[in-house]
Structure 1
């Protein structure tokens, strides 16, 4: 069984929470793209964990975790993340964590370049997390990146560093007038944070292929959502990788395998971190009330998330791009204090009603078309069965299901591991 858990919207939908929940039924969990530019928040009996690079399955003792070749890995950040989890009693060893030898290393100069470019753009900035993601993916496709597997070929790696340093300084010093990097700095970075990972580095494609041959169940974990995909998202306000489910086998290192099931994650309302078009966005007091009710602040950056009502237009598109077979709806409990709820059922562009997501360049000219439905005035966080939910909550779920034309199978009513209802 090969299953992918993916975001339907702009990211921050609650994928980590669902991966943690469902990983109990799987043998392997694999992250297949992105870096430490987003966070998956998981709350269980051990406490609250924010995972930026490690797969959310790392919190399950009997699950093996894989960081695939489609990822970009800030090895300094990874060292800190592993240390914090170990301090909390989480077991991490080469037996339960495999890092692809083909994954790319996010370098300190990538982070510096990311920050310099955002500063240069000023009020035209993309809203980068300043974690070096776009520059390192650019280096990858320019064939100027370092790969994790090179850490096990130290003599060859040392010979590559001077040429890369000379090349990168052309940008840092020549284009930005900033301080450059040095061979000594890069080698120290690899020695301090890279070499300790040697025992974790392996051919994850071979590992996953063998796991599949043995009949093991594999869960693929995505970062961000469909609207942040480099090809199908709200370009250029996207991530620099493919966040869609179809990329999961490729980014995991097993393009020979096919997915059996895709679970799309979407919130009961809309949130968006960073810049770019967000048609159904709330402003002022409405935004503040919803943001505070949901605790909507970025897990990786702490930035306040932009918020709005459920956007059925964007969600239909995200479901189609992800090929979702079913949906997990998160944070329904956040809406418990609202007497009325709005749903964005369409956009209006130049006087015409749109029910399909348009070309991203047109989104700034679109206006939301809202439908108002009745809310429920009671706490639902203790609900564990469908029959426990108020009729208004069931009606809201049914309306979203109707708008999105996809079965909602799981409904989250709290952040804790067991706070969900299977429909």
Structure 2
């Protein structure tokens, strides 16, 4: 049956979306990356091979799936080509299966430099970006000066636009940040080299998707980052530069809401965050050390240690409301196997007024403390379990507690990094 499924993160990213996209893509025809850039990192384990993707849709590891990088994404062509070559080395071939929107904006070397020098200048007040040039590239898009993938088709037009934008950045880099200037001719030469590799991939992806919908093909829309990093609805200003909530699917692809059949929110059974910004349930004790080590909580893109905390039910409900989620997929259940007790934050308390909130926006998180409910651990191995009835009773009760707190069902559970370490509680395609 044709079904179009959105897979997005409900926390601060790193929820394990890549594995879930990979797992579900075996039943779909298309997988679409709709926002963000190579600041995302999706780690997949297939037949004991570890594959880390940053820009290519995760579902392309299945040979019959067509991948689309749509207009909402900002693209570093050099990183894209590196990823294509990496997949070839692992015997994953995507020729004639990967297509790129002509309207997607390009990330160029001066964007990366600007990202880095700004963060350095901010010092302790830095946002904690990945330093990949994502923010400056989106700024150019909004300012209507960005180079887009379609510009690669016309060398003369490309050269003129590139010179103008390089002049714009050189003026700032030299005068404000005392940084060396860029030579637009060197950047142009590299772009033309990469253009020859991806030229046949550049299409109108919006029209391609509408044709797929008309032909009743199943589509998976793959989110990057997480809802709490959304530029409009996240913990601003410590957010990403795109819409990681459900609206990003619509603007980032040109596919309307009536064509989205099911929205799956991916949630770790605990919380993590990379970079700066508020984190209500953050841990600073031996549980933090345990979760970091057992959960391998180091960024796929940056290698930075992730901050860890208990699952935040208040933030989860917020994400469910923002995204109109159909159900949850909870990941890394096996990471909790050795804990005697597990906590979930179910409310916030204002430390000044002592008022308690069960639903709250992320306008001001500095003056709150989390209120927890405590659950017994199961102290049994759940790694690799594929049927929900085989889970320990305490683990099943913990999942039911998450459902009660969230108000929506848990339809999938990940019990390990391999694509087959998955419990499908309900068939999402019927």
Q: What interval of TM-score do these two structures reach, taking the shorter chain for normalisation?
A: over 0.9
Q: Equivalent residue for 1:150?
A: 151
Mapping for residues 21-420 of structure 1, pairs under 5 Å: 21-45=23-47, 47-93=49-95, 95-255=96-256, 258-349=259-350, 350=352, 351-360=354-363, 362-420=364-422
Q: Give the deviation of 1:246 after TM superposition.
A: 2.9
Conserved 8 A contact 2:346-2:358: yes
- Taking the aligned partners of 1:180 and 1:396, their CA distance within structure 2 comes to 56
Instruction: Tell me how far 1:255 sits from its aligned partner.
Output: 4.0
Residue 309 of structure 1 aligns to a residue in which SS? strand
State how many pairs are aligned.
Answer: 421
Between the aligned partners of 2:54 and 2:12, the Cα distance in structure 1 is 17
Q: Distance in 1 between matches of 2:337 and 2:112?
A: 40
Deviations 1:334-368 (A, max 9, x none): 000001111111111121111113333x1021111
Aligned in 2, Cα 1:140/1:382: closer, same or farther, shift over 3 Å? Answer: closer
Rounded to whole Å, the distance in 2 between the matches of 1:330 and 1:71 is 25
Deviates more, 1:97-106 or 1:181-190: 181-190
Give 1:249 deviation, angstroms.
2.8
Cα distance between partner residues in 1 of 2:156 and 2:258:
35
| Inter-partner Cα distance in structure 2 for 1:5 and 1:13 | 11
Secondary structure, counterpart of 1:25 in structure 2: coil
1:23 positional shift = 0.4
- Deviation track 1:175-196 (CA, whole Å, cap 9, x = no partner) reads 2121111221221221232332
Q: 1:140-185 CA deviation, whole Å, 9 max, x = no partner?
A: 1111110001111112211222222211212111221211112212
Q: Report the Cα offset of residue 257 of structure 1.
A: 5.6
> What's the CA shift string for 1:366-396, capped at 9, x where partnerless?
1111111100111011422111011100110
SS of residue in 1 equivalent to 2:366: helix
Say which SS state the counterpart of residue 402 (structure 2) adopts.
Answer: helix
Q: Distance in 2 between matches of 1:356 and 1:188?
A: 53
* Structure-2 separation of matches of 1:237 and 1:317: 17
Deviation string for 1:99-125 (max 9, x for gaps)?
Answer: 000001101000000000010001111
Counterpart in the other structure of 2:11: 9
Report the 3-state secondary structure (helix = DSSP H, G, I; strand = E; otherwise coil) of the residue aligned with 2:44: strand
Secondary structure of the corresponding residue to residue 255 of structure 2: coil
1-side partners of 2:384 and 2:139: how far apart? 47
TM-score (norm 1): 0.97
Q: CA RMSD in A?
A: 1.2
Most deviating of 3-12 and 152-161: 152-161
Whole-Å separation in 1 of the counterparts to 2:417 and 2:181: 44
CA contact (8 A) 2:37 2:74 kept: yes
More displaced, 110-119 or 36-45?
Answer: 36-45
Shifted more, 56-65 versus 246-255: the winner is 246-255
Range that drifts further, 278-287 or 13-22: 278-287
Q: Offset at 1:285?
A: 2.1
Secondary structure at the counterpart of residue 363 of structure 1:
coil
- Aligned partners of 1:414, 1:280: CA distance in 2, in Å? 24
Given that residues 36 and 242 in structure 2 are in contact (C-alpha distance below 8 angstroms), is that contact kept between their aligned partners in structure 1?
yes
Deviating runs (4+, > 3 A) in structure 1?
Answer: none
Q: Structure 2: give runs of 5+ residues left out of the alignment.
A: 426-430
Contiguous gaps of at least 5 residues in structure 1:
none
SS of the residue 2:259 aligns to: coil
Matches of 2:245 and 2:417, distance apart in 1: 25
